[in-house]
Amino acid sequence: MGSSQSTSEEVRELVGKTGFSSDQIEQLHRRFKQLSGNQLTIRKENFNNIPDLELNPIRSKIIRAFFDNRNLRKAPTGLADEINFEDFLTIMSYFRPIETNMDEEQLEHCRKEKLRFLFHMYDSDSDGRITLEEYRNVVEELLSGNPHIEKESARSIADGAMMEAASVCVGQMHPEWSGEVFQLRKAYVCVF
């Protein structure tokens, strides 16, 4: 922002923190400025400027994920009102592909981070557990695009899915999940 030297220093800092390359950071910075209207921070309202996002059935959850303090690694609960560029990059870093030169430990860490991001999306009240109500909420939103499937059907589907997951993990069957039980690694890795 000031002289070019301090900018490149900042860029280098960001490269170190988030793992993006400097080109990618430049590109994301441009997009950030576009979204925020040349301000320093983005608020929830700025996401309304993205027309294609309107069609997404779970957009509220996704936008929320951008402001979730747990994803921003600032606090265990709550939502931030606005995020700056560094926070934006932090969220984006969850979507980076897995590098081929990572060792086992880094790989595990990366995968866990991605899983945790998703878990936070489902767990809206930040209590560390996905309750049946929260899961039902997710399924209802997913099916909200189809006006002919009623809420009750969505609820039964969510219930069925919960039972399925419960039957997969041995013994215990609770109406809630904790993060460790949430075991869908394979799908995640392929997608992310």
How big is the site for another protein, counted in residues (CB under 8 A)? 56
Q: Which x/- pattern, by CB under 8 A, does the window 31-60 give for another protein?
A: x--xx-----------x--x-xx-xxxxx-
Q: What is the DSSP string of the chain?
A: --SHHHHHHHHHHHHHHH---HHHHHHHHHHHHHHHTS-S-EEGGGGGG-GGGGG-TTHHHHHHHHHBHHHHTS-SS-B-SEE-HHHHHHHHHTTPPPPTT--HHHHHHHHHHHHHHHHHHH-TT-SSEEEHHHHHHHHHHHGGG-TTS-HHHHHHHHHHHHHHHHHHSSS---SEEEGGG---HHHHHHH-
User: Which of 121, 123, 130, 134 is in the footprint of another protein by CB under 8 A?
Assistant: 121
Please state the closest distance from residue 13 (CB atom) to another protein, in A: 21
Q: Does 148 bind another protein (CB under 8 A)?
A: yes
Footprint of another protein (CB under 8 A): 28, 31, 34-35, 47, 50, 52-53, 55-59, 62, 66, 92, 95, 97, 100, 118, 121, 132, 138-139, 142-143, 145-146, 148-150, 152-153, 155-157, 159-167, 170-173, 175, 184, 187-191
